[in-house]
Chains A and B, each alone.
Chain A
Amino acid sequence: MVTRLSGFVVVPGYACNFFCEHCVAGGRRERGGLSQKEMRLVTDAIARYKVRSIFFTGGEPSLYIRKINRILGGVDQARRLNVTVTTNGWFATTPKRTVDKLMSFSKLDSVQLSYDKFHKKFLPEGNVLNLFEACKKLKKRFSVVMSVQSPLDLQLVGPLKKIGKFTIGIQHVLPLGAAKTNGLGYKRQSFDKQVLFERCPVRGKIAYMPGYGFSACCIAPEIAGRGKPYFYPTPEKLLESRFYNLVSRHTFKEIGKKLNISEADISGENSSPCMVCAEMFAKAGRLK
């Protein structure tokens, strides 16, 4: 029986026209994006696993609209797919330009804008308004995702709420990619052991990253270090892997036990599920 996947994250390419100092993809600047062969792999995976929700992230996905449209055009059930794009909103300089850009996606249901103190350096607040209004006009869902390095970064919520009513998702900056280089990860005052009883929040979803392959984790390039140990050439290989089975079925406490990592070995500088998981797999080394 073919597994049904609840969500599929696709990185069409890593290029971005912003240079945010906290970006998790900040260390990867390959410009080419998905190859023809990779686009076919992604399209096949969407069809075979009856994916209902697809999320295009990056890099900046709006720099890869042709590739995105080719992927969506190759899927029979494209009409039933729920398509979300996470963007930095660079194109939303005027209402017309914003509408035109959103309409250039062959299928689009939701727009998620990355906006926080880091993106604010590149993105005028007017672009946020244009994007919100364009989504309303085109009947697309609109939301904002805000990365916070310190609690006071949440002060940006106030000005955003004046623009309109939409959801704002808060993420803590993880010490990965450019944020690691620049020492910008969110620092907790102490390790919250409760995180060990949580499970991977993205279990049941898979990701495809150009040049790497399929994974159950979008920060896998970071936890892998050199090489690509947590990436697989096909979804089948991923779903059969010990890595996928560990992260999709167990709490972090159970994963630690199976990897022979004791709780005392976890530094817990960031008590987020992703960083605890990353630390365990980094300590365990490559899984057989």
Chain B
Amino acid sequence: MKNKDKVLAAFLVSMGMFSALQATKYIASLSDADKNALVPAAAASNDGTVTLLCSTDWPDTNPKKA
């Protein structure tokens, strides 16, 4: 598994989208173009500017901080 795939899988797990196993399978199924388009989001997640919010229309509700 390439390093980029690992980073993207970890990003999707941190966004609450998949379990680690599911994320790995999902990333493996993507085309290179789709993976590359996700890279900026994963990078922004590392610098803290992309965060997961509670799934409602209440602003500023990060479930991990709740």
Contacts and interface: CB of A to CB of B under 8 A. Distances in A.
Given A152-B38, A170-B50, A201-B66, A157 B44 contact: yes
Interface residues of B, number: 33
B13 to A, nearest CB: 11
Interface string B16-42: 111100100010001000100111110
Contacts of A145: 53, 59
Interface string A255-284: 000000000000000101111000000000
A196 interface: no
A173 B57 CA distance: 10
Contacts of B53: 145, 169-171
Contacts, number: 127
Nearest to A55: B59
Contact of B59 (A84, A189, A217, A272): A84
Name, among B17, B53, B55, the residue most crowded by chain A CB atoms within 10 Å (CB to CB).
B55
Q: In terms of DSSP, what is the predominant structure of the interface of chain A? A: mixed
B59 A86 contact: yes
Contact of B15 (A24, A170, A200): A170
24 contacts: A55-B60, A57-B57, A57-B58, A86-B57, A151-B38, A152-B37, A152-B38, A155-B38, A167-B48, A168-B49, A168-B50, A169-B52, A170-B50, A170-B51, A171-B56, A174-B56, A189-B18, A190-B19, A201-B66, A202-B56, A207-B58, A218-B56, A272-B54, A274-B56
Interface of A: 7, 9, 24-25, 53, 55, 57, 84, 86, 112, 145, 148, 151-152, 154-155, 157-158, 161, 165-174, 186, 188-190, 192, 198-203, 205, 207, 217-219, 270, 272-275
